[in-house]
Structure 1
């Protein structure tokens, strides 16, 4: 029911009518409620991850410059995952920080592009990320000493300039390789995951070190005496495999692991995903596939 209330203004000869306020109040309430419902629905749908959804495909990320990582994930998706009641997809990305953030917030289920110490670097720099290693070594990247001028590490001359990778974790790995090749000697108690040039106690060839990123290393090969880095960078740039002059298997500390979002590690989907990556058939594939062997060596993920 509506009521019009009029107030007569006798001295002026006209009437003022009060506005009907209740329709505006009702409209305002409806708008507020609708907005709240929309916000809740949108917020709820935005936080639902495939990790938590029965029957959903769990996308596992590979570094888009590494075809071996892609091949491993696709092999698992086709040949292994169905036995563990999980669907797996392969997604290639190039920005490592973007990958870790997406794993942390559940947009993707996991990744095999990194070793534990690279992950730790990322977590230290991004305290809000929640991501963890879920397996042992899935595979070892082919990594070693490359040279356009010399056939063995022993041929590298006095005063040679050698490139190491610029990030701390892979810089440490490079120094470990130089020590394995007999080019430098390390402190006996040095932590191989945190090596720096300060841990070198003997450098008989007086090697000089320069730091480069992944993409710059292959381009610099003709200008330097040697470079310590990943096969994927060099082969992608068209460098011949015979330029890799020293390449023992890396320590487990520098091997690929499956990492997953910490919030989702106990979901049924992710638990099944982890089981699939630990299946022995995966290691057999890595050891025998001719293309994968160029970039990856078997690990021990159990």
Structure 2
């Protein structure tokens, strides 16, 4: 036994255990090596992960080929806006809306600009895919056309009006006619979902008929008036002077930049949203003299 420095005997002896020292050092060294290795791996992989998050600089954005103005918009963004954000925009035309939305949902195309939110819901359901709408881009000009009458006031009682036959665009047409005081809709329904059966006030006794949007121009001579997209009548060689009313469409029908839902929250999607939110796009829509865009695709309305 040894005495403690203060003279008290605690009944045990302190000795250095020299036989366990090498084993302890080996364990500590092994742990240190593992920790150091993990840190090195983390340092090497972190830049790679960060790079992958924002790795895309070239984006394929879909448009409807029948809508030449949409391609014009994408070309303007590609040439005048995208370079300032360090990205490239490649316009991709595909006619079939179901296939186009499927390509967007699966990531073959990065986004599309050809539809408003309500048409997107119909098309996505038909395609069996999930899509997410984001920033508003532009609106399609709507017009009431007639080859028989020069103004809305000239339309006689009992005139035949032709409307789009798809749910989303028929709702927009009826809502526009209500906003102009030509029809009244059931107040218990949301106007954008309106169908001809929801008309409850028809003071001028209009006879309402429906047709495919693409067929409207060639059917115009057979009815008193037809309401649909300016672009469709332009494509059908119907002069703008046959338009007797060009109401401002509701903002809820604005085209949106649409992504596949699984890609909509990525840094790449955020970059595209930033590009298409640039105020120069709305200025272009407001001031352009391009006949394929002016009056066809308009700035996003106030309401």
Structure-to-structure mapping, 1:201-220, within 5 angstroms:
201-220=200-219
Aligned to 1:296: 297
Shift in Å at residue 148 of structure 1?
Answer: 0.9
Coordinate RMSD, CA, aligned: 1.8
Looking at structure 2, the residues matched to 236 and 254 of structure 1 have their Cα atoms a distance apart, in angstroms, of: 21
Looking at structure 1, the residues matched to 164 and 241 of structure 2 have their Cα atoms a distance apart, in angstroms, of: 20
1:208-250 deviation per Cα after TM superposition (whole angstroms, max 9, x unaligned):
1211112100000111101010011110111101111111211
Looking at structure 2, the residues matched to 122 and 182 of structure 1 have their Cα atoms a distance apart, in angstroms, of: 31
Aligned to 2:36: none
Contact 1:145 1:177 in 2 (8 A): no
Aligned to 2:113: 112
Aligned to 1:160: 159
Question: Number of matched residues?
Answer: 249
Looking at structure 1, the residues matched to 201 and 300 of structure 2 have their Cα atoms a distance apart, in angstroms, of: 32
Aligned to 1:231: 230
Shift in Å at residue 300 of structure 1?
Answer: 6.8
In structure 1, stretches of 5+ residues that fail to align are 1-50
Shift in Å at residue 160 of structure 1?
Answer: 1.3
Aligned to 1:129: 129
The structure whose Rg is larger is 2
1:152-175 deviation per Cα after TM superposition (whole angstroms, max 9, x unaligned):
222111111111111100010111
In structure 2, stretches of 5+ residues that fail to align are 1-51
Shift in Å at residue 266 of structure 1?
Answer: 2.2
Contact 2:98 2:124 in 1 (8 A): no
Aligned to 2:187: 188
Looking at structure 2, the residues matched to 281 and 92 of structure 1 have their Cα atoms a distance apart, in angstroms, of: 23
Per the normalisation by structure 2, the TM-score is 0.78
Looking at structure 1, the residues matched to 301 and 209 of structure 2 have their Cα atoms a distance apart, in angstroms, of: 33
Secondary structure at the aligned position of 1:91 is classed as: strand
Contact 1:153 1:183 in 2 (8 A): no
Aligned to 2:24: none
Contact 1:140 1:249 in 2 (8 A): no
Shift in Å at residue 180 of structure 1?
Answer: 2.3
Aligned to 1:286: 285
Check if 1:266 corresponds to 2:300: no
Structure-to-structure mapping, 1:1-302, within 5 angstroms:
54-126=55-127, 128-135=128-135, 137-291=136-290, 292-299=293-300
Looking at structure 2, the residues matched to 197 and 224 of structure 1 have their Cα atoms a distance apart, in angstroms, of: 17
Aligned to 1:24: none
Looking at structure 1, the residues matched to 53 and 251 of structure 2 have their Cα atoms a distance apart, in angstroms, of: 31
Aligned to 1:28: none
Q: Runs of 4 or more off by more than 4 Å in structure 1? A: none
1:258-292 deviation per Cα after TM superposition (whole angstroms, max 9, x unaligned):
11111111222221111100000111111111122
Stretch moving more, 94-103 or 292-301: 292-301
Secondary structure at the aligned position of 1:134 is classed as: strand
Looking at structure 2, the residues matched to 146 and 249 of structure 1 have their Cα atoms a distance apart, in angstroms, of: 15
